[in-house]
């Protein structure tokens, strides 16, 4: 069922509460915020639309895991400063979430003004989806816009409970996420490929279950490929194997063969004698020759190129998970090769799941070369698994 969009909500001149996701790496200081501000940039279209409508814009977000207590290092004011730079207009960061300070600040707003409430998770009612807290959030505003896709899989006061008290709609960011990923799931141009990576098979079980029968190609890299290679009888050194997922991996291979789906696993891998950013020794080895005491850290350059060549024949690519231990620079080459090859493809829809994959794409400077890079890690995974997301389900149908 289609959900109410921003252009279907009366926001002209209204006080609009907007749930955004400004959960950025504040521990790295101002420089960290500026380097990883995709989530701020992604919500600019919604904020600018509301400014054009003469709305009074009240932003709310969580930051980190303060567990219902005030943590000075997790205040949102530095994030508000970065947003003001991006918007090229002032952002009034408030030291409270609700109460008289907030009510007075909102009452003093002029059309087009922007305020940012304090970290939602400083209040224990946020993650508990407490109705009283949700009502307090709604008290000084006229309507609500959900523009934080990354937390739509959470039923919290600011994602679910708030919709019971205010006319609500999805923002432009959430609308784009739903439309782009929905299109890749429901009506993809063929051939359709899923490029799976990341640390664990268990994280991708439901995703593989939901996508498999519709695929033409399945690519498996990252830590995931260790369990798949082991399931096929290859020795994988001291790399972590998910023993309880070996049979699932074999079942995926059987189902893929029965459905005529081409499965791509790396033939060669980069290995190291320590699971560390700067190990004593590294080598490139055939997957059948990985010795004891060594760890698979990345897909090898030749296998990355094999993946790139096969991906070039596809028309829709759904990507979730890096090809190696990308956060360690020595083992980022496989992800880089695959990402750069996808970025060069013309006439191809590329949908990148959030989390570590989005961070890798952002670090590589390829955000604008992909059709869609999700702002949500867990949310994008659950969406692609076919699950209902509470933060979207709570919005009114149209």
pLDDT digits (tens, 9 = 90+) for 92-150: 999 999 999 999 999 999 999 999 999 999 999 999 999 999 999 999 999 999 999 99
Q: Could you give the number of structural domains in the chain?
A: 2
The predicted pLDDT at position 381 comes to 87
Active-site annotation holder among 128, 200, 240, 330: 200
390 falls within a domain: no
One domain for residues 156 and 203: no
Give pLDDT, residue 67. Answer: 94
Question: Hey, which bits of 300-376 come out as E strands?
Answer: 316-320, 349-352, 372-373
CATH number at residue 337: 3.40.50.1260
Q: Are residues 206 and 61 in the same domain?
A: no
| Residue 224 falls inside a structural domain | yes
- H helix count then E strand count, the chain: 15, 15
Do 167 and 186 sit in the same domain of this protein?
no
Q: Is residue 375 part of a domain?
A: yes
Active site residue 176: no
* 391 is a domain residue: no
Most distant CA atoms of the chain, gap in Å: 70
Q: Which residue in the block uniquely carries the two structure tokens 């380097």?
A: 35
Give the separation between CA 270 and CA 260, rounded to whole angstroms: 29
What is the tens place of the pLDDT at every residue in 287-304? 989 999 999 999 999 999
Same domain flag for 123 and 158: yes
For the question of residue 321 being annotated catalytic, the response is no
Nearest to 196 by CA among 284, 149, 263, 296: 263
Determine whether 3 is an active site residue: no
Of the residues 173, 201, 216, the one at which a domain ends: 173
Q: Are residues 102 and 216 in the same domain?
A: no
Same domain, 294 and 371: yes
Q: Residue 353 pLDDT more than 90? A: no
Residue 393 forms part of a structural domain = no
When pLDDT is averaged across residues 71-82 and rounded to a whole number, the result is 94
User: Is 19 in the same domain as 164?
Assistant: yes
Is 398 a member of any domain?
Answer: no
Neighbouring residues of 179: CB distance < 8 A, sequence distance ≥ 6: none
Q: What is the full DSSP assignment across 43-67?
A: THHHHHHHHHTT-EEEEE---S--T
Q: Which of 120, 138, 173 is the last residue of a domain?
A: 173
Do 216 and 71 lie in one domain? The reply is no
Q: Is 200 an active-site residue?
A: yes
Where in the sequence is the domain holding 362, given as residue range(s)?
Answer: 180-384
Domain contains 1: no
In a domain, 392, yes or no: no
- The one catalytic residue in 39, 82, 204, 336 is 39
What span, in angstroms and rounded, lies between the C-alpha atoms of 266 and 297?
12
Given the residues 237, 324, 354, 355, the one annotated as active site:
355
Phi and psi dihedrals of 298, rounded to 5?
-165, 165
Are 12 and 94 in the same domain?
A: yes
Do 314 and 186 have their domain in common? yes
Same domain, 80 and 109: yes
Domain boundary among 136, 153, 173: 173
User: Is pTM beyond 0.85 here?
Assistant: yes
pLDDT at 238 over 80: yes
Q: Are 379 and 389 in contact (CB under 8 A)?
A: yes
Q: Are 158 and 231 in a shared domain?
A: no
């Amino acid at each position: 069922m289609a959900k109410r969009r921003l252009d279907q909500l009366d926001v002209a001149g209204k006080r609009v509460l907007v749930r955004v996701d400004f959960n950025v790496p504040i521990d790295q200081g101002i420089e960290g915020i500026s380097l990883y501000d995709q989530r701020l940039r992604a919500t600019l279209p919604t904020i600018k639309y509301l400014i054009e409508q003469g709305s009074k814009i009240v932003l709310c977000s969580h930051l980190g895991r303060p567990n219902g207590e005030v943590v000075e290092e997790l205040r949102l004011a530095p994030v508000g400063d970065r947003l003001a730079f991006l918007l090229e207009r002032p952002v009034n960061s408030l030291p409270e979430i609700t109460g008289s300070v907030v009510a007075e600040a909102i009452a003093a707003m002029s059309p087009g003004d922007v305020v940012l409430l304090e970290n939602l998770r400083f209040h224990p009612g946020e993650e508990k989806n407490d109705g009283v807290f949700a009502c307090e959030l709604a008290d000084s505003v006229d309507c609500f816009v959900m523009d934080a896709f990354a937390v739509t899989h959470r039923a919290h006061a600011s994602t679910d409970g708030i919709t019971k008290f205010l006319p609500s709609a999805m923002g432009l960011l959430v609308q784009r996420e739903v439309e782009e990923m929905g299109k890749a799931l429901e009506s993809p141009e063929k051939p359709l490929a899923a490029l799976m990576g990341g640390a664990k098979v268990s994280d991708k079980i439901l995703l593989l279950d939901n996508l498999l029968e519709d695929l033409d190609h399945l690519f498996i890299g990252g830590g995931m490929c260790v369990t798949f290679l082991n399931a096929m009888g290859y020795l994988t050194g001291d790399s972590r194997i998910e023993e309880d997922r070996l049979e699932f991996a074999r079942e995926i291979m059987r189902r893929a063969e029965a459905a005529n789906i081409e499965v791509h696993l790396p033939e060669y891998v980069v290995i190291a004698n320590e699971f560390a950013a700067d190990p004593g020794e590294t080598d490139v080895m055939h997957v059948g020759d990985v010795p004891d005491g060594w760890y698979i850290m990345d897909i090898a350059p030749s296998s990355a190129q094999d993946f790139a060549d096969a991906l070039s024949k596809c028309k829709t690519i759904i990507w979730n998970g890096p090809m190696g231990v990308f956060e360690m620079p020595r083992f980022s080459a496989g992800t880089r090769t695959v990402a750069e090859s996808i970025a060069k493809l013309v006439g191809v829809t590329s949908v990148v799941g959030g989390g570590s994959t989005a961070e890798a794409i952002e670090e590589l400077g390829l955000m604008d070369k992909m059709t869609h890079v999700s702002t949500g890690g867990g949310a994008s995974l659950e969406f692609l698994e076919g699950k209902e997301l509470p933060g979207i389900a709570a919005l009114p149908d149209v």
